[in-house]
Structure 1
């Protein structure tokens, strides 16, 4: 457990760990009703990011979680391989660039599958179904 904790607060995983804390805080605010999950959609051009119709908050959260998991597991592997200091540092820097790259492509694939759960047009109002008598 100590190995994973030191990897989570070490370089380069700390960058994703900080982002993960922000994502968890955001979703706690959404659950408590203080924020809305579509709060960032008007500020970001989702079409330019090719996110496939999923709210930006959802896709950013998926990106951070996948990137954190990749970075954490990569950091643990780098620490387990007994390399000299320069080689370990080089592998950590490589991981810093590789984790977001792989996370972006995995997020785009996953988000395309999630898009069917986020319709662009709202459904019919509930009032349409109320007058059934």
Structure 2
């Protein structure tokens, strides 16, 4: 047991031992529900994109990093026991082992995550841009260039209350009030609101008078 601990906390294995401790604690928190293995949807998608860019098959970074650390610890431990002597020479040999371990672990991780990619199909998280082109129901007494809210239903049937605005120049063409139907035609990312216009189903070519069934 003493030899095992000496190798685990000795150089260079101690580098991966510290990382492995963090990984184990993280997955324990995930198991207890105190942490999210994927994180927020947007962050998760970005982490997958980044891992794909590093040649890790597009799996979540948390999984890829955990595999990298686990493989690195095992390789580093075995190499330390077999190759790294004690004394000053051991530091030099240990440094070479550390560099080699990082490379071997990286290549092994890329190999291991390839078959795991099918478990993480490409999915796009909900986006406000998905609401552009949909109709909405105004929930405030008025809508102008500085105020307004509306309820919109997405393709899956879920409802959301969003901020809407109507340019002052369009108010004369049709004022929007509570209960009226509007069309979300653009999204302002800076102000985080939708531009809305009055909607008349009779003018929609899909549902207007000229539609044939």
TM bin, normalised by shorter chain, reads: 0.7 to 0.9
Distance in structure 2 (CA, Å) of the matches to 1:70 and 1:107: 12
Listed one character per residue, the Cα deviations across residues 79-98 of structure 1 (whole Å, up to 9, x for unaligned) are 5xxx5745433221111101
Which residue of structure 2 aligns with residue 41 of structure 1? 44
Give SS of 1:41's match: helix
After superposition, what is the alpha-carbon deviation per residue over 1:6-43, rounded to whole angstroms, capped at 9, x for unaligned?
00001111110000000001101111111111126356
What's the TM-score once normalised by structure 1's chain length? 0.80
Name the one with the larger strand percent. Answer: 2
* 1:4 alignment partner in structure 2: 4
Superposition pairs of residues 112-131 of structure 1, within 5 angstroms: 112-121=114-123
Larger radius of gyration: 2
Q: Point out which structure has higher relative CO (alpha carbons under 8 A, 6+ apart).
A: 1
Q: TM-score, normalising length from structure 2?
A: 0.51
In the alignment, what sits opposite 1:73?
A: 78
RMSD of Structure 2 on Structure 1 (CA): 2.1
Larger helix share, 1 or 2: 1
Change (3 A) 1:48 1:3: same
- In 2, Cα distance between equivalents of 1:7 and 1:22: 19
